[in-house]
Amino acid sequence: MDKRCDEADAVAELRDGMTLGIGGWGSRRKPMSLVRELLRSPVRDLTLVSYGGPDVGLLCKAGKLRRLVYGFVSLDSIPLEPHFRAARQAGSIPEVRELDEGMLQWGLYAAAIRLPFLPTRAGLGTSVMEINPELRTVRSPYADGEELVAMPALALDVAFVHMNRADARGNAQYLGPDFYFDDLFLMAAKRRFVSCEKLVETKDLLAEGSLHTLRINRTLVDGVIEAPGGAHFTECPPDYGRDEAFQREYAASAKDDGAWESFRAEWLEVPEAEYQEKVRARRAAK
């Protein structure tokens, strides 16, 4: 089956109030062209699950979120995400579910393998148990009788991830050092979309990486989007590194309303093709 589509097709799957999972980690290999498309759409009241980076900051700033499920939000080279910080400090995210980052993995894995929860020690005794009052514990039925956190499944309606390569049927490949939790995001979701730097023939998938880089098979994917530069301004090695100058500009846009409005007008209210064209022109000018 040919699963090629575009960002608009993927975002059209989202309805108000749905739960969205976004792959990557911090400011690393985030599906930013999909995030930009989402910002241009009317969808709102989303629950977002993310190892948070600028995806979280942008969706907070745009008022798209009803609930945020996260362990941290960071831009890596800029440790604290300014738009996320501003939203938290203004109390403008209606509900936050802040967890240990390993608990997030566990919740996605539970959803992926269709279990109601998975037990863990992470969170016990800390404020995680107090700020997430819905969390329950479970007692081992075996002789040890240990009481553990029952991390509930984080079932997703839709998942977006960005990979280096994919074929038209949805087999996808990472070529960088880490696959993060992208396979789990896809496994945990009902509708799954993979954007990629370059679409290749199936027979060419092993041309650039070993067998072990084919982490995502086509049972996990409903739609494939060819999006060169789609992770910009986050990093997507080996295709490109983080655009640090751009990221600094993005961070500076949290300074005041004027800075945000001009950043938004220049970079977020333009179609993706124009965005990429402007990024190329900037790079050429340097």
Partner 1 sequence: MSANAASRAEVCAAAVADGFRGDGEILVSCFGTVPSIGARLAKLTFEPDLLLTDGVASLVENVLPVSGKAPAAVVESWLPFRSVFDLLWGGRRHVMMFASQIDRFGNQNFACIGPHAKPTAQLLGMRGAPGNTISHPTSYWVPNHTRQVFVEKVDVVSGLGTDRAAALGELRSRFHDLRRVISNLGVFDFATEGRCMRLVSVHPGVTVEQVVKATGFELVIPSHVPETRLPTDAELALIRERIDPEGFANKEVRG
Residues that bind partner 1 (CB under 8 A): 25, 52, 70-74, 79-80, 84-85, 88-91, 96, 98-103, 105, 120-128, 131, 144-148, 177-181
Q: Minimum CB separation from partner 1 for residue 271, in Å?
A: 33
Nearer to partner 1, 71 or 230 (CB): 71
Q: Minimum CB separation from partner 1 for residue 275, in Å?
A: 27
Q: Minimum CB separation from partner 1 for residue 87, in Å?
A: 8
Nearer to partner 1, 8 or 148 (CB): 148
Q: Minimum CB separation from partner 1 for residue 181, in Å?
A: 7
Nearer to partner 1, 84 or 233 (CB): 84
DSSP state string for the chain: ---B--HHHHHTT--TT-EEEE-SBTTBS--HHHHHHHHHS---SEEEEEEESHHHHHHHHTT-EEEEEEEEE--SSSSS-HHHHHHHHHT-SSEEEE--HHHHHHHHHHHHTT-SEEEESTTTTSTHHHH-TT-EEEE-SSTT--EEEEEE---EEEEEEEEEEE-TTS-EE--SS--TTHHHHHHTEEEEEEEEEEE--GGGTTSSS-GGG--B-GGG-SEEEE-TTTTTTSBBTTTB---HHHHHHHHHTTS-HHHHHHHIIIIISS-HHHHHHHHHHHHHH-
Nearer to partner 1, 161 or 227 (CB): 161
Q: Minimum CB separation from partner 1 for residue 107, in Å?
A: 12
Nearer to partner 1, 148 or 150 (CB): 148
Nearer to partner 1, 174 or 275 (CB): 174
